Structure 1
Amino acid sequence: MAATHSLSSAALSSSSSSFFSHSSFNAKNPKVSFPGTRFRVKCVATSQDSMTAYKTSVPRNANMAKLQAGYLFPEIARRRNAHLQKYPDAKVISLGIGDTTEPIPEVITSAMAKRSHALSTLEGYSGYGAEQGEKPVRALIGKTFYSGLGIEEDDIFVSDGAKCDITRLQLVFGSNVSMAVQDPSYPAYVDSSVILGQTGQYEKDAEKYSNIEYMRCTPENGFFPDLTKIPRTDIIFFCSPNNPTGSSATREQLTQLVQFAKKNGSIIVYDSAYAMYISDDNPRSIFEIPGAKEVAIETSSFSKYAGFTGVRLGWTVVPKELMFSDGFPVAKDFNRIVCTCFNGASNIAQAGGLACLSPEGLEAMRGVIGFYKENTSIIMDTFNSLGFNVYGGKNAPYVWVRFPGRSSWDVFAEILEKTHVVTTPGSGFGPGGEGFIRVSAFGHRENVLEACRRFRQLYK
């Protein structure tokens, strides 16, 4: 008999005034009671006997069978739910998945509401839009993020998010390409490569897939790979500021990367989803580097700037100068994929995007980003005070904490069990993440402060 468990969504309250009052939390006795939320668990039983024995004649995609366990973040959610079943009265704080928590600024939501209400009128109704995005949105993205960089409006494709565009780009590249990825890095790059059939089997001993070049990024090399030791691949996935390490590449490093790609005839897929968090003079866009338009694609998102993780709005830049080996423009194939697989971003979301990029919207987004960066400082100060080696934080909403000689999943389990705080195990981002955990700064301030109190009690 197997049992599956689901939690009432109403039970998951992310904020509580109880955080400002005294709690009886004790790291040595983690089963504590916090005033406020109680969790109700519903159990649903299934049995093998109740399942149909009929099978179709359709074979499973063999590439899907290569994937290991569940995707990282659903696996974390599964473990979190199991913990809630074990401790139904605990106040669990999630600093794991990089989901925003603060309300979308009113200047942005009011624009979306206005567009939404207009759809109920003959004058304001619109149906299918351009698959590439509305021209005013594309133009304003170009003006805001790529001014003076030679990126034109029709180089920009508006989408429902960077993660979706990563898969669309993989469809463009197909299965007969080789790829390299930062190690550690956002798991969608590797998993989409596996699904497309670009990789070999998973090698358990090495904790990596064959036919992928894992570019190790460590504190010792400044979280930038030694390109002199990296063999040529067709595609290079690169994220700056990096998720999970929080490190942003310097102008000199990105110049090396562009020159490396040009020398090898490779294409860089550059993920700049956290660029607005950069507070020093490191590049916000790969296109700040001379020659990048001939070798790079850039994808980005409003998710972590404006709280659009649920609204869904992003963009990808594919310059006209980027060509395949036969001289065919990459942008034309990407446009074909977009037109085939996508009907365009929501017109309501795009109205929000226009508001984001207005002077008032930009100011509001900077305020939200500033709030999360204050959270980051609180978390970094906490772990630094406890004697840990801590990285990231300055240019990204993630803190990368080192636990030498320890399994990342063991540390994740220890923190969850003894503090009721959800983090992310570093090994979930690649073998280079073993011995680290990622702590997200996305959270209500009272939750972050309470989590840090618990960390101090556990590791004092």
Structure 2
Amino acid sequence: MRLNPHLAAMPGGYLFGEIARRVQAYEPAAPRPIIRLGIGDVTQPLAPAITQALVDAAREMGTPEGFHGYPPDQGYAFLRRAIIDADYAPLGVGLELDEVFITDGAKTDTSALPELLAADARVAVTDPVYPAYVDANAMAGRLGHYEKGAWSRLVTLPCHADNAFVPELPRERVDLLYLCYPNNPTGTVLTQAQLARFVAYALETDTLILFDAAYKAYITDPAIPRSIYQIPGAERVAVECCSFSKSAGFTGTRCAYTVIPKALQGRVDGRMVSLNALWARRVACRQNGVSYPVQRAAAAALSPAGQAQVAAQVQAYIDNAHAIVAALQGAGLEVFGGIHAPYVWLRIPGGQSAWDFFDHLLHRAQVVGTPGSGFGPAGEGYLRLTAFNTAERTREALARILAVL
């Protein structure tokens, strides 16, 4: 049989798989329970409004009149309407129902959306970056050859302390630009003016922006944009991916949504084609959607009661992030993020490599972080900590970390 040579040529394993391997190898000998501040998985249970909706929908499915089979390709209208009314209307963003697509996760769509583009499309990402963006395009053969730790056709935009983790505009022509803000992994955000600069660039160069807004619920300053569509003209150049995972605890329940405005068009053989129509065609072919009970649960998360309940959960994670920042800064360490995001980006003290420091914390403190180098070359020298554990375990983890520095 003939295999995909691009997939076969990819380096190593997936970042979080390697973390899991190291933790599993050490855990049996650990002198005390390991505290995980690595993978961004939530710890609080689903809110009451969500679980009640799941129960009600499951019971409904058990009746002849309430049974639901395959969901509509784009998702049920009740959930798409709730998303528009709860997430976008308050921002002054107008959307039509068929511009919203329900999916099982933002990771799914941020990895699949490049299928809209030509096989040889040029891709740009920030560095450091969520690795799934890079891997998805590498599997499709867009990134060329992997040589000396870099892909030959991937355009990278370094983000570091010297530029306040705000990437420069690409200096060469690209077809697709990934932006994730609030950012994973650095926890930083873009101001209205900074995001507008990227929209203006995309309008000028005919570049598609894939804007990952999975962490928008953590923004506490109304001056910071929660959606790229708050920038005039973005509806002509941007796709936005959002998730219920980090806002409503759906990491194990699986529900998200992608917005593709009908004003967004691209060229095929000299003619203009709607990306919305292309994606609708792709969705009809490649997925059967999200189950009815889960979509009812997601809609409940956007109800007045649900919004209040999940906001309290998000605030608890925000409090954890603020506590991590305060404790590490109080110890004289340099940290970034953690204000409008559930991630804290720690500059590693003493010049250790990211993986060496990861191992140091694992074996000496029994705390798991995420080595920054796993997010790209510019992440070397940093460690990502997440705020998704409980307040008690977060405090304990901080005490352990500070004791072994």
Q: Could you say whether these structures have the same fold, taking a TM-score greater than 0.5 normalized by the shorter chain as the test? A: yes
Q: Name whichever of 208-217 and 286-295 sits farther off.
A: 208-217
Match of 2:250 in 1: 308
Partners in 2 of 1:373 and 1:167 — Cα distance? Answer: 27
Q: What residue is the counterpart of 1:439 in the other structure?
A: 385
Cα deviation, residue 167, structure 1: 2.4
The structure that has the greater radius of gyration is: 1
After superposition, the C-alpha distances for 1:59-95 in whole angstroms (9 at most, x for unaligned) are 22111123221111111111110111333x5311111
Q: CA deviation at 1:226?
A: 1.8
Q: Where does the alignment leave 5 or more consecutive residues of structure 1 unmatched?
A: 1-57
Which residue in the other structure is 2:18 paired with? Answer: 75
Contact 1:155 1:319 in 2 (8 A): yes
- Does the aligned pair in 2 maintain the 1:415–1:422 contact within 8 Å? yes
Q: Are 2:323 and 1:378 equivalent residues in the alignment?
A: yes
5+ long unaligned stretches in structure 2: none
Number of aligned residue pairs: give it: 398
Specify the code of the residue in structure 1 equivalent to 2:175.
D
Q: How does 1:8-407 map to 2 (within 5 A)?
A: 58-87=1-30, 89-147=31-89, 148-204=92-148, 207-227=149-169, 230-280=171-221, 281-325=223-267, 326-403=271-348, 405-407=351-353
SS in 2 for 1:90: coil
Q: Which residue of 1 aligns with 2:367?
A: 421
Q: Conserved in 1, the CA contact under 8 Å of 2:266 and 2:274? A: yes
Would you say the 8 A contact 1:174–1:196 is kept in 2? no
**Offset, 1:168:** 2.3
> Could you say what secondary structure the match of 1:328 adopts?
strand
Tell me: higher relative CO, structure 1 or 2? Use CA pairs within 8 A at least 6 residues apart: 2
**In structure 2, distance between residues paired with 1:347 and 1:166:** 23
The answer to whether the 8 A contact 2:53-2:297 is kept is yes
1:174: Cα distance to partner? 4.4
* Offset of residue 437 of structure 1: 0.2
1:6-37 C-alpha deviation (Å, 9 max, x unpaired): xxxxxxxxxxxxxxxxxxxxxxxxxxxxxxxx
Distance in 2 (CA, whole Å) between partners of 1:108 and 1:59 is 46
Q: Give the distance between the partners of 2:302 and 2:67, measured in 1 at CA.
A: 23
Tell me the SS of whatever aligns to 1:327.
strand
Q: Secondary structure at the match of 1:225?
A: coil
> In 2, distance between residues paired with 1:259 and 1:94?
40
Q: CA deviation at 1:223?
A: 1.2
State the alpha-carbon separation in 1 of the partners of residues 311 and 23 from structure 2.
Answer: 31
Which stretch shifts more, 68-77 or 401-410?
A: 401-410
Residues in 1 aligned to 2:47 and 2:358: alpha-carbon distance in whole angstroms = 33
Identity %: 41
CA RMSD of aligned residues (A): 1.1
Contact residue 241 and residue 274 of structure 1 kept, 8 A: yes
Give, in whole Å, the separation in 1 of the partners of 2:115 and 2:54: 31
Q: What amino acid does structure 2 have at the position aligned with 1:413?
A: D
Q: Provide the C-alpha distance between the structure 1 equivalents of 2:23 and 2:84, rounded to a whole number of angstroms.
A: 40
Secondary structure of residue in 2 paired with 1:214: strand
Q: Distance in 2 between matches of 1:222 and 1:152?
A: 36
Matched residues in 1 for 2:115 and 2:28: separation? 40
In 2, the alpha carbon distance for the partners of 1:66 and 1:393 equals 36
Distance 2:123 2:330 in 1: 40
Whole-angstrom distance in 2 between the partners of 1:174 and 1:363: 43
**Separation (CA, whole Å) in 2 of partners of 1:175 and 1:419:** 46
Residues 168-191 of structure 1 deviation map (CA, whole Å, 9 limit, x = unaligned): 212222422110001111111000
C-alpha separation in 2, matches of 1:150 and 1:327: 23
4+ residue runs of structure 1 moved beyond 4 angstroms? none
